[in-house]
Amino acid sequence: MMKFEGEHLFPGQLGHFFVILSFIAALIATISFFTASRQQDPLQKQSWLRFARMAFFIQVIGVIIVFSTIFYICSHHYYEYMYAYKHTSQELEYKYLLACIWEGQEGSFLLWTIWQSVIGIILIFKSKEWEAPVMSVISLAQFFLLMMILGIYFFDIRIGNSPFTLTRNEIAGPIFSQPNYLSFIKDGIGLNVLLRNYWMVIHPPVLFLGFASTVVPFAYAYAGLQTKRYGDWIKPLLPWALMSATVLGVGIMMGGKWAYESLNFGGYWAWDPVENASFVPWLILIAGLHTMVVYKATGHSLRASYLFAMLAFIFILYSTYLTRTGILGDTSVHAFTEAGKAINLMILLFLLFFAVSGLSLLFFHYKKIPAIHTEENTNSREFWMFIGSLVIFLTALFISAKTSVPVYNKIFNTHIAPPEDVEFSYNKIVVLVAIIVGVLTAITQYFKYKTTGKAYLLKNIVWPTAIAAALALLLAVLYPYTFWKHGVGFLGAIYLASFACIYAVVANAFYIFKILKGKFVNAGGSVAHAGFALMIVGMLISAGNKEVISSSMVNGINLPASKDPMTKQDDDPKENLTLIRELPTKMADYQVTYIKDSAGHEKGRNFYELHFERKNPTTQKITESFVLQPDVYIMKDNNMSSNPDTKAYLTKDIFTYVTFALNKNSNTDTSTFKVRELNEGDTTFYSNGMLILNKVEKNPSQSKFDYDKAAIALQADITVISKDSMHYKAKPLILVDSLGISQVDDTVFAQNLYVRFSGVTDTHKIKIGVKESDKLIDFVTVKAYVFPYINLVWLGLIIMAVGLVMSMIKRGNFSKTQSIAILVFVTIALFYMFLLANQ
């Protein structure tokens, strides 16, 4: 057997051993918890529980060791492991090492498993009499997740993809038959450049905690059916469900923030299938939360609560199937590629097992679940809460159905094409949902449970209604929407949605101070509703009045722009502005100058420095100045990936990205300098104009170039006049320092002209070198938007999350000190992440 040089096999063997151990321990824990849940004898039950806990803790320890081993392998760049080779590289900054672990399928499954382990530990200590049936489900979910990274063969079928497979066993190539093959692997492929972002370090852990937490409602619903304590599970579940809704919602919007900062489609939400796949379970969970509250108060909606609790986790598994099996194809800009038939089959098995077993169990017990058969009064809170839950649930089904078109095409061999405008196909429905939900969120809390008097309702709702109408009218008059793209009907719907959401914000604020008398301890629901409505208002304003401020009409340069990443259609060239290096160009109220480009840490990545200035139109004094640095990554296939940069204000963002940039490695400059001998005041010509040597300065006090003041510097002051009478300055230098004589050329980019101070002749004439480059002039084409009041989106999210946490604290068994600490920590953390971190 060939011995390969330089391999570090022990970490991989150790990690793979603990994957197998954790897998077996999860199976044993599942069987043991399930057996304990069926035991009537208390002694037998406790015996099985102790055994189950021990197995679960072994699984937890194993998973932590597996994660630590992967981190060790990636951080040491052991490219003999395929996972390290695919996801790390030498130039990868250390802060992104964690991101490279959950970039891959195996690492993200492991992250999910770790969070479920944490949740399982808490449930073991806190769920009391519900422990056995609830932990049966948690342990079973762990079993399936660990199966995804098992990496063992059953006959010719590989069960799971191990993160510890060796590169030489995965890639066919002649170098892998050589004992020193590692000497040929100089670097890894590395983390996708789009994922090298602050949000990709924190967004996936939060999102996967949200994913993992949705198993808890399913587990409690199963426990209620299994123990036949059909309604008792709602109370212990509610704090968990509120936590899950908070974390999953924040995790989804963290993804929106990442997309806003890293992708160039000009926004934070584009109804991408991956976005939708995580959004649908959140909507179902929100619907379930409302029906659970209704059941706690009135005894109604228990069956609906069972359904929503189970479907939230089932749709998480369905989202996993959509995003990890490659079935979405090119309909998503950030889905995983296909992982192989075996792993796809296991994901499908995971989904089908929980969907079929859970829904079958619910169907079997359906008639045994207590239900109040008298209908709710239409003037009761529970009636309108159920209507709201139903609207949210139907919206989730609509989004899921549209997202699942690739699944229908594959199953039924159809060829249903996506609509020409994907975003509008969703927005035209969702804007109507926003109207309904906004109005329901505003008025429902003013109803009482059971029945509400008409006079009581009108008395309390009249002022919020009037104020919201006035504010909506004020918005329409002072800051009207400019989104005419889809006609007056859709624009009218946007205005109605704005009124409905403003109504929700105002009505919830009134409810807190008038009905609850300012007692915030009971105001969690109202705060969450107000935050959600404010977030939608921010979305409507920022999208409805989004303005493109770049225009090719400024300088008449029309270049073919890149394709829109969402519609796959060519971007409008008229909305792109081409900036010639060092030539100030007007962009709305700003003068924008492309200063220079600089290489990033990654090969092929360039940052483009754009200097923005705004002047007082009367005095012409500069009133504002800032620099943006959007970047471009030229990939191995010469395709361009563009990442935006944003200037954030309190009331708006200026969002800028590159739509075209030169690949400077693709063409070589073959032109040379032609030296002319001039006296001061002399003129010489080039093909597009002339140069005048004004004077030569020794050690100039002002120079565009930095140089050591101890050196001797001669600077030629030259005026370049083009045929179109444009004047430019060129000031090349010649330096004499301790290192010898060196020349610092100057460039007139607008003329593609390079000027050099070549020296002095014996007759004291100045030698000026002139080169007319045959390379393309250095320029960059950009697109820029203004997003007005986009901070309302992030502020609304924070308020909604704080409201959900307030509700969680109220319904959980937290002390006053714990409650205050949790609330303060969550609020500060969210404010920092969304409003302060990247300002």
pLDDT of residue 659: 87
pLDDT at residue 343, rounded to an integer: 85
Specify the pLDDT at position 806: 94
Q: Is the pLDDT of residue 567 over 50?
A: no
Residue labelled with tokens 């649908």: 280
Q: What contacts 24+ positions apart, CB below 8 Å, involve 90-95?
A: 90/187, 90/188, 91/187, 91/190, 91/601, 91/602, 91/603, 92/190, 92/191, 92/196, 92/601, 93/196, 93/601, 95/201
pLDDT at position 610 over 90: yes
Alpha-carbon distance 742 to 730, whole Å?
A: 17
**Summary mean pLDDT of the chain:** 88
Q: What is the pLDDT of residue 500?
A: 97
The phi, psi pair for 284, rounded to 5°, reads: -65, -40
Q: What single-letter DSSP state applies at residue 116?
A: H
Q: How far apart are the two ends of the chain, measured CA to CA in Å?
A: 58
Provide the pLDDT confidence category of residue 29 given band limits of 50, 70 and 90: very high
Q: Identify the DSSP state of 560.
A: P
- Of 488, 12, 287, the residue nearest 279 (C-alpha): 287
In sequence order, which residues have a C-beta less than 8 Å from that of residue 127 and are 6 or more positions away?
134, 135, 236
DSSP for 695-722, please give it.
EEEES-SS-SS---TTSEEEEEEEEEEE
Cross-sheet strand order for the sheet of 766-772? 674-678, 766-772, 753-760, 746-748
Q: What is the CA radius of gyration of the chain?
A: 32
Of the two residues 324 and 796, the one the predictor is more confident about is 796
Q: Please give the helix or strand (H or E) that residue 598 lies within, else none.
A: strand 590-599
Query: Is residue 835 exposed (0-12), middle (13-18) or buried (19+ Cβ within 10 Å)?
Result: middle
Q: How far is 429 from 427, CA to CA, in rounded Å?
A: 5
Give the pLDDT confidence score for residue 510 in this predicted structure.
95
Range 199-214 average pLDDT: 92
Contacts of 275 (CB under 8 A, 6+ apart): 252, 255, 256, 259, 269
Tokens of 354: 């929980």
CB-based contacts of 23, cutoff 8 Å, min separation 6:
143, 146, 147, 150
Specify the range with the lowest mean pLDDT, choosing from 35-49, 246-260, 607-621, 652-666.
652-666
- Is the pLDDT confidence value at 775 over 80? no
Tell me the three-class secondary structure of 522-536, residue by residue: HCHHHHHHHHHHHHH
What are 271-287's pLDDT values in tens digits? 888 889 899 999 999 99
What backbone torsions phi and psi does residue 628 show, to the nearest 5 degrees?
A: -115, 145
Distance (Å, whole) CA 165 – CA 161: 8
Token pair 């422990």: residue: 131
Q: What percent of the chain has pLDDT over 90?
A: 57
CA pair distance 309, 311, nearest whole angstrom: 6
160-172 burial, b at 16+ Cβ within 10 Å, e below that, comes to bbbbbbbbbeeee
Q: Given a cut of 80, is residue 447 above it in pLDDT?
A: yes
**What pLDDT digit, counting tens, does each position of 729-738 carry?**
898 888 887 6
Helices (H), 485-546: 487-510, 524-544
Check residues 473 and 187 and name the one with the higher pLDDT.
473
For 687-701, what is each residue's pLDDT tens digit? 999 999 999 988 887
Q: Which pLDDT does position 365 carry in this prediction?
A: 95
- Band the pLDDT of 585: cuts 50, 70, 90: confident
Alpha carbon separation from 503 to 442, 500, 792 (Å, rounded): 6, 5, 16
Q: What is the pLDDT of residue 560?
A: 59
Contact (Cβ atoms closer than 8 angstroms) between residue 810 and residue 521: yes
According to the model, what pLDDT value does residue 376 have? Answer: 82
Cα separation values, 99 from 107, 108, 201, Å: 9, 10, 5
Reduce the DSSP state of residue 637 to 3 states and report it: coil
Look at residues 648, 581, 646 and name the one whose alpha carbon lies nearest to residue 783. Answer: 646
A 10 A CB-CB count for 811 gives: 20
pLDDT at res. 263: 73
309 and 225 in contact (C-beta within 8 Å)? no
Query: To the nearest whole percent, how much of the chain has pLDDT over 70?
Result: 92
pLDDT of residue 325: 83
Beta bridge partners of 693: 718
- Tell whether the model's pLDDT for residue 455 goes beyond 60: yes
What tokens appear for 109 in the block?
A: 């499954």
Q: What is the structure's pLDDT at 566?
A: 45
User: Burial, 122: exposed, middle or buried (Cβ in 10 Å; 0-12, 13-18, 19+)?
Assistant: exposed
From the list 419, 774, 425, 378, the residue with the least C-alpha distance to 569 is 419
Q: In whole angstroms, give the CA distance from residue 804 to residue 104.
A: 32
Among the residue ranges 191-200, 487-496, 621-630, the one predicted with the least confidence is: 191-200
Residues 6+ apart with CB under 8 A from 637: none
DSSP state of 707: -
Point out which residues pair with 686 in neighbouring strands.
Answer: 689
CA 24: distance to chain centroid? 35
- Most confident among 265-274, 298-307, 419-428, 654-663 (mean pLDDT): 298-307
Q: Which two tokens stand for residue 89?
A: 């590289």
pLDDT recorded at residue 287: 97
Q: At what angle do helices 105-126 and 215-227 cross, to 10 degrees?
A: 50
Q: What is the mean pLDDT of residues 567-586?
A: 76
The listed range with the strongest mean pLDDT (137-146, 518-527, 653-662) is 137-146
Tokens of 351: 């989904």
The tokens for 58 are 């072994």
Q: Is the per-residue pLDDT at 601 higher than 60?
A: yes
pLDDT of residue 641: 75
494-519 per-position pLDDT tens digit: 999 999 999 999 999 999 999 998 88
Q: Where are the domains of the chain?
A: 1-196, 228-403, 419-545+805-839, 546-664+778-788, 674-777
Contact 134, 122 (CB under 8 A): no
Q: Return the SS3 of 89.
A: coil
Distance CA 500, CA 324 (A): 37
Say how far apart CA 809 and CA 822 lie, in whole Å.
8
Give the pLDDT confidence score for residue 330 in this predicted structure.
60
Is residue 313 a contact partner of residue 253, using CB atoms and an 8 Å limit?
A: no
pLDDT of residue 725: 87
Q: Give me the DSSP letters along 2-19.
A: PPPTT--HHHHHHHHHHH
Least confidently predicted of 120-129, 385-394, 436-445, 636-645 = 636-645
Residue 245 — very low, low, confident or very high, per pLDDT cuts 50/70/90?
very high
CA distance 283 to 393: 7
**DSSP category for residue 174:** G
Q: Per-residue pLDDT tens for 792-829?
A: 999 999 999 999 999 999 998 788 888 888 888 888 88
CA dist., res. 290 & res. 333, Å (int): 33
Is there a contact between 791 and 650 (Cβ–Cβ < 8 Å)? yes
Q: Is the predicted pLDDT of residue 556 greater than 70, yes or no?
A: no
Planar angle of CA 125, 128, 132, nearest 5 degrees: 95
